[in-house]
Amino acid sequence: MTFIISAILLGLALSMDCFAVSITCGLQKLMTRKRALILALSFAFFQGLFPMLGALLGDATKAYIESLDHWIAFGLLTIIGIKMFMEGWKYNIKERIFDFTKPMVLITLSIATSIDAFIVGIGFGLQYTIREQVIIVGIIALCTFIFSLLGAIMGMKAYFFKPKIALMIGGAILFGLGLKILLEHLVA
């Protein structure tokens, strides 16, 4: 049960940057329901793909770094968590205007918001089985889809949860998960 809760928290944390970008896209006059759906699908696809690629890299190196895996997972989650928290702290919605309807812009946004998921995937590739990795990736993609769609709709309605706070909460969750992994290995 704690595995599922951790996976959901990870999915929520990693989807916060997509949520913030989706709100910004939703504020633009170009946003429609169809575009909101395409945006959410693109973000969810890349947020699912990148941690799976990271997990494959983690699996490939597991035998070489198994004694340090908990420190690596803690370090990666801490770095990404602090980075996300600081991005939230400095977030300025006026700097985030772009034409998301262009395919290359959408793909670039999708990749940019998924790089942290790749790094996190390396960490859980060291810790979890392939089956568990697939479950985590599915939860990350589902959370990202839901939060991206919700963000775009909220932006369209001009009523939204502040992206700044969402990013800070996501960063704190990632740091907390990293700390949990480290403490589990040190106590065990």
pLDDT digits (tens, 9 = 90+) for 9-43: 989 988 988 888 888 788 777 789 999 999 999 99
Nearest to 23 by CA among 112, 164, 155: 155
Tens digits of residue pLDDT in 99-131: 778 898 889 888 888 888 888 888 888 888 899
Look up residue 145 and give its two tokens.
């889809």
Owner of token pair 């944390």: 13
pTM: 0.76
Average pLDDT over all residues of the chain: 83
Q: What is the pLDDT of residue 79?
A: 80
Q: List, for residues 66-99, the tens digit of each pLDDT value.
A: 677 678 778 877 887 787 788 777 766 555 556 7
Q: Is CATH 1.20.1250 what the domain over 2-187 is classified as, yes or no?
A: yes
Residue pair 69/134 in contact by the 8 Å Cβ criterion: no
Could you tell me the two tokens for 32?
């429609």
Is 144 or 160 the better-scoring residue by pLDDT? 144
